[in-house]
């Protein structure tokens, strides 16, 4: 532990030194960019001297002390006094001044948090099903294995200069909460004759060219898990594309070599990893310290909460665990934005009512092992914080990336579209608020908002109409994942950003009028076909008619005419 603290401090001192050199103009800004990206530090749009810092939260596991540390740094360092939860179970902090970066990183380090390798051509934050360890359907808890992999790969020399970023996800449930098929590596719990092991999938990814990960072998024993992952990374490091950034992901190496050739190279490399013991095996899961949950019944008997809102909240946001009498509570975080006060008060709620918390890939917070009899108290604590909204995992629970609010690559402002849809859920779409449908929004084709795998996906594009660019959303329908498979959303029309809420409302009207009894939306889309849906949206998607409507040339949430500013992002700089 002492050695790790010393290593972290040495990293921060190195960054501090390079900041001083940069400000004395002794360091090329491009070299500084490569350095800071290893620390999860990104440039912000229209803000050359302040940055976004991505805080790595392995598996989304977060302690009360870490929540309090996040509250403190939001208060001291961010202009908005808030952070943003991401689809990779991380936290992003915006508007950090350059000279404040070392101090911020030291504050995070005291709570066991780092931004190291939260960006760049490295293995990014390892994600995990937030229900791991409490799911009634899992064969075993994948959490210790996922943590071991995360710790092994962080600062590992093998992972520092890969051809491109690598994303890894672990899942234990039959339901694919972790979205393993869209990852470079998806690891799914599986038993064989009572032994713990995994099904390992490789070569998935989203972005402009989405691909589904494929199964490496029928079953991988626990002790072979790390050697298998290391072998895949070695093959990628050795053979991956390094000249053309757009073709540098693992999924493209799989296509280049062909699946069988890629698979054989990995299995051969794995034998070398095992023979040289350069990695390590997991013959048994590492031990993991967890807080004890409050005792069931400790909160006493109480009459049911009187409000209909509580009943709805408990019905959508509380999930029974395999541990008798305990629930997992999904705290809906609107827009994924968490204020310093919300971080701080959530820490208190975790201490009083649960055994721990995890950030989810749907930009929410999961409170684990909450006694069922404590639900009324938890609800009352969340209400004044604005965190007691029902509808977790339903249509109203929208996933979105930060978009052009900060990102260099983004075209549109997904937050504004999400807010517009939120208003509709209190009016024109209110019957659909608790529908088991998903809406996911990205500000560009890169799919940070996971638009490819939503029932209703949107990503920002700019369309030339006359001499101007029109801010638009490309609509997609019918996306979904399950273990080993993914259906990526089918493209409908592009619609002006200002009319995207109207388009989604109309799609739901068509679904309501034409669906068969209990017909899921994705099945409905396959049955009626895209032509039927496009016909219903024809006038909304008529971009040529937009030339006579100047209000459409202003993005949602903005007041000035749209100007295309999207540039090269820094994810792989």
Does residue 494 sit in the same domain as residue 546?
yes
Q: What is the DSSP string of 148-169?
A: HHHHHHTT-GGGTT-SS-B-EE
The answer to whether the beta carbons of residues 91 and 359 sit under 8 Å apart is yes
The answer to whether the beta carbons of residues 364 and 338 sit under 8 Å apart is no
Please list, in sequence order, all residues whose beta carbon lies within 8 angstroms of the beta carbon of residue 415, skipping any fewer than 6 positions away. Answer: 335, 400, 402, 403, 405, 557
Does residue 217 sit in the same domain as residue 319?
no
Q: Would the pLDDT of 321 be above 70? A: yes
Calpha distance 360→357 (Å, rounded): 10
The answer to whether the beta carbons of residues 38 and 116 sit under 8 Å apart is yes
Q: Is residue 79 part of a domain?
A: yes
Tell me, what CATH number does 381's domain have? 3.30.70.3340
Q: Which of 64-78, 181-195, 293-307, 471-485 has the lowest mean pLDDT?
A: 293-307
Calpha distance 395→383 (Å, rounded): 21
Per-residue confidence (pLDDT) for residue 544, from 0 to 100? 87
Q: Is residue 424 part of a domain?
A: yes
Tell me, what CATH number does 70's domain have? 3.90.480.20
Does residue 441 sit in the same domain as residue 319?
no
Mean pLDDT of 304-320: 89
Calpha distance 177→212 (Å, rounded): 16
Angle, in degrees to the nearest 10, between helices 64-77 and 101-110: 160
Does residue 155 sit in the same domain as residue 257?
yes
Question: In angstroms, how far is CA 40 from the centroid of its own chain?
Answer: 15
Does residue 99 sit in the same domain as residue 65?
yes
Q: Is residue 344 part of a domain?
A: yes
Question: In angstroms, how far is CA 13 from the centroid of its own chain?
Answer: 30
Per-residue confidence (pLDDT) for residue 429, from 0 to 100? 86
Q: How confident is the model at residue 573 (pLDDT cuts 50, 70, 90)?
A: very low
Per-residue confidence (pLDDT) for residue 572, from 0 to 100? 46
Calpha distance 438→42 (Å, rounded): 29
Q: Is residue 116 part of a domain?
A: no
Does residue 70 sit in the same domain as residue 36?
yes
Helices (H) and strands (E) in the chain, counts: 15, 23
Token pair, residue 233, equals 């990374």
Calpha distance 176→447 (Å, rounded): 18
Side-chain-side CA neighbours of residue 2 (13 Å): 0
Residue with tokens 């440039």: 43
Per-residue confidence (pLDDT) for residue 165, from 0 to 100? 96
Does residue 356 sit in the same domain as residue 491?
no
Q: Would the pLDDT of 287 be above 90? A: no
Mean pLDDT of 408-417: 95
**How much is the pTM?**
0.95
Question: What confidence tens digit (pLDDT) does each residue in 364-375 have?
Answer: 999 999 999 999
Q: Is 393 left (phi over 0), alpha (psi -120 to 50) or beta?
A: left
Please list, in sequence order, all residues whose beta carbon lies within 8 angstroms of the beta carbon of residue 113, skipping any fewer than 6 positions away. Answer: 55, 56, 57, 66, 69, 70
Q: Is residue 560 part of a domain?
A: no
Calpha distance 505→29 (Å, rounded): 46
Question: What confidence tens digit (pLDDT) does each residue in 375-403 have?
Answer: 999 999 999 999 999 999 999 999 999 99
Last residue of a domain, one of 385, 420, 453: 385
Angle at 409 between CA 333 and CA 47, to 5 degrees: 80
DSSP annotation of 224 reads G
Token pair, residue 465, equals 């109409």
Q: Is residue 13 part of a domain?
A: yes
Does residue 464 sit in the same domain as residue 427?
yes
Tell me, what CATH number does 196's domain have? 3.30.413.10
Residue with tokens 């079953």: 219
Domain coverage including residue 239: 142-276
Among residues 94, 88, 113, the alpha carbon closest in space to that of 45 is found at: 94
Does residue 42 sit in the same domain as residue 162?
no
Q: Which of 13-22, 51-60, 198-207, 421-430 has the lowest mean pLDDT?
A: 421-430
Does residue 234 sit in the same domain as residue 365?
no
Q: Is residue 299 part of a domain?
A: no
Q: Would the pLDDT of 490 be above 80? A: yes
Calpha distance 449→537 (Å, rounded): 23
Side-chain-side CA neighbours of residue 257 (13 Å): 19
Calpha distance 304→301 (Å, rounded): 9
Total tally of structural domains belonging to the chain:
4
Please list, in sequence order, all residues whose beta carbon lies within 8 angstroms of the beta carbon of residue 30, skipping any fewer than 6 positions away. Answer: none
Per-residue confidence (pLDDT) for residue 49, from 0 to 100? 83
Residue with tokens 């490819």: 452
- Element of type H or E holding 351: helix 340-353
Q: Would the pLDDT of 568 be above 90? A: no
Does residue 312 sit in the same domain as residue 441?
no
Q: Is residue 294 part of a domain?
A: no
The answer to whether the beta carbons of residues 125 and 118 sit under 8 Å apart is yes
Q: What is the DSSP string of 272-305?
A: HHHHHT-S---SSPPP---PPPPPTTTT---PPP
Last residue of a domain, one of 257, 276, 295: 276
Mean pLDDT of the chain: 93
Does residue 403 sit in the same domain as residue 371?
no
Last residue of a domain, one of 64, 90, 110: 110
Token pair, residue 101, equals 């970066």
308-314 — which CB contacts under 8 Å span 24+ positions?
309/388, 309/390, 310/376, 310/379, 312/390, 312/391, 312/434, 313/379, 313/388, 313/389, 313/390, 314/375, 314/379
Token pair, residue 56, equals 């790595």
């Amino acid at each position: 532990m002492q050695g790790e603290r010393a290593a972290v401090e040495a990293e921060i001192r190195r960054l501090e030194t390079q900041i001083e050199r940069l400000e004395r103009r002794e360091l090329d800004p491009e070299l500084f960019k490569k350095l800071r990206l290893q620390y999860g530090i990104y440039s912000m749009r229209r803000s050359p001297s302040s940055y976004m810092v991505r805080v790595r939260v392995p598996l989304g596991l977060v302690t009360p002390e870490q929540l309090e540390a996040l509250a403190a740094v939001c208060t001291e360092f961010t202009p908005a006094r808030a952070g943003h939860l991401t689809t990779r179970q991380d936290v992003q902090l915006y508007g950090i001044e350059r000279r404040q970066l070392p101090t911020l990183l030291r504050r995070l380090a005291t709570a066991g948090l780092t931004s190291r390798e939260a960006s760049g051509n490295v293995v990014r934050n390892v994600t995990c099903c937030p229900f791991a360890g409490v799911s009634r359907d899992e064969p075993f808890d994948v959490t210790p294995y996922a943590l071991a992999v995360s710790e092994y790969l962080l600062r590992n020399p093998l992972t520092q200069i890969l051809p491109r970023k690598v994303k890894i996800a672990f899942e234990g449930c039959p339901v694919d909460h972790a979205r393993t098929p869209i990852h470079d590596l998806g690891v799914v719990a599986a038993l064989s004759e009572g032994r713990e092991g995994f099904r390992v999938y490789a070569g998935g990814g989203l972005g402009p060219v989405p691909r589904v990960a494929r199964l490496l072998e029928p079953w991988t024993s626990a002790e072979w898990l790390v050697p298998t992952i290391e072998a895949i990374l070695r093959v990628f490091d050795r053979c991956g594309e390094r000249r053309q950034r757009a073709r540098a992901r693992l999924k493209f190496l799989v296509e280049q070599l062909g699946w069988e050739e890629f698979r054989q190279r990995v299995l051969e490399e794995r034998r070398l990893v095992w023979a040289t013991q350069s990695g390590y095996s997991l013959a048994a899961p590492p031990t993991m310290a967890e807080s004890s949950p409050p005792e069931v019944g400790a909160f006493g008997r109480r009459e049911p909460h009187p409000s209909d809102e509580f009943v709805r909240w408990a019905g959508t946001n509380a999930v029974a665990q395999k541990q008798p009498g305990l629930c997992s509570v999904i705290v809906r975080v609107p827009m994924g934005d968490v204020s310093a006060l919300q971080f701080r008060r959530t820490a208190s709620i975790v201490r009083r009512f649960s055994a721990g918390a995890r950030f989810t890939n749907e930009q929410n917070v999961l409170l684990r092992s909450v006694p069922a009899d404590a639900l009324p108290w938890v609800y009352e604590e969340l209400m004044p914080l604005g965190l007691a909204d029902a509808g977790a995992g339903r249509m109203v629970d929208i996933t979105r990336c930060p978009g052009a609010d900060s990102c260099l690559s983004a075209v549109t402002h997904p937050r504004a579209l999400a807010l517009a849809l939120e208003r509709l859920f209190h009016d024109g779409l209110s019957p659909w608020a608790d529908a088991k449908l998903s809406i996911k929004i990205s500000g560009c084709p890169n799919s940070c908002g996971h638009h490819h795998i939503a029932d209703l996906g949107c990503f920002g594009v700019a369309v030339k109409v006359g001499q101007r660019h029109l801010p638009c959303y490309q609509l997609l329908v019918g996306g979904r994942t399950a273990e080993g498979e993914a259906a990526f959303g089918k493209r409908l029309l592009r619609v002006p950003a200002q009319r995207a809420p109207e388009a989604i409302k109309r799609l739901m009207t068509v679904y309501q009028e034409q669906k068969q009894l209990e017909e899921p939306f994705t099945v409905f889309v396959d049955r009626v076909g895209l032509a039927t849906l496009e016909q219903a949206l024809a006038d909304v998607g008529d971009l040529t008619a937009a030339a006579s409507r100047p209000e459409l040339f202003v993005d949602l949430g903005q007041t000035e005419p749209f100007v295309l500013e999207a540039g090269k992002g820094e994810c792989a700089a």
